[in-house]
């Protein structure tokens, strides 16, 4: 059975200030994200025990916990990697060209992504849809409601209230503006290149 672990942040806790505070990163990563890792491990343990005992009365709930906590862990990992102190840039190269092809322009992509972020009860994602072989913006509530089968996240923005209330209060739009001040396209571009190589 896999034992999932919380990876350290790829930068110091105060590295994204003033856009994301040290306090928010500490709480969000060390406590909140760790909770999803713990929840995923606990659900896997429950499923393994149920299989060994042949008692599946608690299995449906544990399967749901795998989906919720596993998605929470995966999307948080991508969220941390989607930002850096050197961020605030726009995509370049192949990813930029694909965004322009699939959305018409970078500005059109950003406008649609911001709309997704304003509507989501969890996450705004830029995904590669391997079924249609195109990029899409996706609104995901919680961690796993609204996901698209066959899609692979490239860029993730956590818009749960714990991501921004301490710094911005209820002004989610201000938080999204500041995300764009630290968004770093290097990791998303590498993920996109890997997906294109695999699926196209």
Its pTM stands at 0.94
Is pLDDT at 187 greater than 90 in this prediction? yes
Q: Which domains does the chain have, with CATH numbers?
A: 22-81 (1.10.287.990), 93-199 (3.55.40.20)
Is the distance from CB of 118 to CB of 173 less than 8 angstroms?
A: yes
Collapse the DSSP code of 141 into the 3-class scheme (helix H, G, I; strand E, B; otherwise coil) and give the result: strand
Question: What's the pLDDT score for residue 62?
Answer: 97
Question: What's the pLDDT score for residue 1?
Answer: 65
Q: Helices marked H in the chain — which ranges?
A: 22-25, 34-53, 59-81, 93-103, 106-119, 165-168, 172-182, 186-199
Question: What's the pLDDT score for residue 143?
Answer: 86
Residue range 103-131, pLDDT digits in tens: 999 999 999 999 999 999 999 999 999 99
**Is there a binding annotation on residue 158?**
yes
User: 34-53 and 59-81 are packed helices; what angle lies between their axes, rounded to 10 degrees?
Assistant: 150
Is pLDDT at 36 greater than 80 in this prediction? yes
Residue range 64-78, pLDDT digits in tens: 999 999 999 999 999
Residue 57 CA, distance from chain mean position: 32
**Is there a binding annotation on residue 68?**
no
**Is there a binding annotation on residue 76?**
yes
Burial class (CB in 10 A: 0-12, 13-18, 19+), 134: middle
């Amino acid at each position: 059975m896999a034992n999932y672990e919380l990876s350290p942040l790829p930068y110091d806790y105060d590295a994204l200030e003033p856009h994301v505070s040290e306090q928010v990163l500490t709480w969000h990563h060390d406590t909140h994200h760790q909770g999803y890792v713990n929840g995923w491990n606990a659900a896997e343990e429950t499923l393994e025990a149920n299989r060994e005992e042949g008692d599946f009365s608690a299995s449906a709930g544990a399967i749901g916990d795998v989906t919720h906590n596993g998605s929470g862990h995966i999307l948080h990992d991508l969220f941390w990697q989607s930002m850096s102190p050197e961020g605030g840039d726009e995509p370049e190269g192949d990813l930029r060209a694909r965004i322009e092809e699939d959305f018409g322009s970078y500005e059109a992509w950003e406008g649609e992504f911001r709309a997704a972020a304003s509507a989501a009860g969890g996450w705004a994602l830029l995904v590669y849809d391997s079924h249609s072989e195109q990029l899409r913006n996706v609104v995901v509530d919680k961690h796993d409601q609204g996901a698209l089968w066959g899609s692979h996240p490239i860029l993730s923005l956590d818009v749960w209230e714990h991501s921004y209330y301490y710094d911005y209060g209820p002004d989610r739009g201000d938080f999204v503006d500041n995300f764009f001040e630290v968004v770093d396209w290097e990791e998303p571009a590498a993920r996109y290149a890997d997906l294109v190589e695999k699926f196209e």
